[in-house]
Amino acid sequence: MLSKIRKSKFAMHTAWAMGGQLSFLLANFLLFILLVNEFSKETFGIWALYITVISIIDSIRQGLVQNGLTRLIINEPKNRSIKSAGTLINYTVILLSSLLLLILPQLLSGNIELNFLLKHAWKTLLVLGTIQLIATFCQAKSDFKTYFKVNALYLIGFAGLLFYMRSQSGNLSLIELVNYQVYALIVPVIYYLIVSKPKWQFPLISDLKRLFSFGKYVSGTNLLSMIFHKADILMIAYFLDPTAVALFHFASKIMNYAELPLQALSQVIYPRISASHQSNTAGDLNKEYGISVLRLLVFVIPICIILIMFNKEIISLLSSGDYTESSQLIIILSIGMMLKPVGRVLGLTLDAIGKPDVNFRMLLISVALNLCMNLILIPQFGLSGAAIATTLSIIITILIGQLSLIRHTAIKPIRDITNSIKQNFNSLKLMSWN
């Protein structure tokens, strides 16, 4: 009976988490569709470079706050100082990053349009930082329903602004699109403050130190992971041109949307892995690791098969014929995506057991490998070389990660995943979580 209740809660949390993630991704998807259909490939390439810079910087903020804050709130739910400490670090990083990007364009002699866009980066950083901070608070309390509603309100607001302004004006600029993101943030924040009624206190120095001490490794890991995934864009921009950047970014965005189950389920899986580690019951962590990987694989593998078989139809549906060259890239990237569930649960597990430094060191090797492979393969094979470098790097990184997991935990990846498959197959309840 207790097992059925747990499965029911997991299913409910998963549904709300996926709904919230889907809402946020739909808002970005609308922006993506508008960009590929209304702007030139060159302009879309500039946007891709802008988002790459934003993503790299935001990964630092997210690493300093998200997992560490979630972990501390779960362990000390009545400690208000922890939430205040997380909030202070969150917006301090946004402020410092925004100031940096206000100065940086003045020092660059590259693309004028990109330099001008970077001056408005504080708006995008503010939106991402605020939405994700709210998500962290909700995740720590397993309040995925509020998380869904906040993101749904953002989607409604952003979509409404896009449709209204598109009907009023024939030409949109990239700066206007960035502004709409900020406007759409207002209602969700007000809603969250009214519903959650957060209570704050001045953050204790000890809590700031604890959060920063844990987060510095996660932040470093996130930064390396982001560089790992964005190295191809940056090196394509160096070796090729904005049009090539646009084609690769188009393929990458499709892969990002296909990874919705990974992103949504990770928010539910991390607290469960953390709790199983703290339970001190033999075998709990092994079981949670195995079933977590299996649940992600059940979603991801069918999606990858669809992308491989019908990528041309998907490209035609989403854009004009200008992006048909992205077809081969999607196929290559889909192969690497099939193994991402193993890598995602690996990273969550290492953070949950208090080993973010292991993640960091592991990714140092991976980033170096990815950069070297891109340096060799892009000049040789162009865009396909970048996709091959990314896929091979993912596979090698995951293999290295499993060795690290075996060394620092009692988990045996192949055995635990196999056991989960056998148990669920025998009971014929692989998808029946309720």
Backbone angles phi, psi at 338, to 5 degrees: -60, -30
From 93-102, 145-154, 229-238, 239-248, the region with the lowest mean pLDDT: 229-238
Scan for tokens 């706050």, then name that residue: 65
Q: What angle do CA 325, 326, 332 make, to 5 degrees?
A: 120
Quick: pLDDT tens for 307-357.
999 998 988 888 766 788 899 999 999 998 998 888 888 878 887 777 777
- Tell me if 217 sits within 8 A of 355, measured CB to CB: no
Enter the pTM of the model: 0.73
The verdict on residue 39 lying in a domain is yes
Residue 431: per-residue pLDDT: 44
Number of domains in the chain: 1
Q: What angle do CA 189, 57, 199 make, to 5 degrees?
A: 30
Quick: pLDDT tens for 2-55.
455 555 666 676 677 778 878 888 888 888 888 888 888 888 888 988 998 898
Three-state DSSP state, 290 = helix
At 12, which amino acid appears?
A: M
Counting beta carbons within 10 angstroms of the beta carbon of residue 425, is it exposed (0 to 12), middle (13 to 18) or buried (19 or more)?
A: exposed
Q: What angle do CA 378, 230, 325 make, to 5 degrees?
A: 50
Domain that holds residue 379: 2-426
Tell me the C-alpha to C-alpha distance, in Å, between residue 325 and each of 108, 240, 249, 380, 382: 31, 15, 12, 17, 12
The verdict on residue 175 lying in a domain is yes
Residue 321: per-residue pLDDT: 66
Q: Give mean pLDDT, residues 103-110.
A: 63
The verdict on residue 244 lying in a domain is yes
The verdict on residue 434 lying in a domain is no
The verdict on residue 433 lying in a domain is no
Quick: pLDDT tens for 235-284.
898 888 888 888 998 998 888 888 877 777 777 787 778 777 776 665 77
Tokens representing 346 are 């690996």
The verdict on residue 185 lying in a domain is yes
The verdict on residue 178 lying in a domain is yes
| Rounded Cα distance, 113 and 155, in Å | 27
The verdict on residue 347 lying in a domain is yes
Q: State what percent of residues in the chain have pLDDT above 90.
A: 20
Closest CA to 87 of 141, 124, 138, 130: 130
Work out the pLDDT band at 430, boundaries 50, 70, 90: very low
Q: What angle do CA 266, 178, 321 make, to 5 degrees?
A: 80
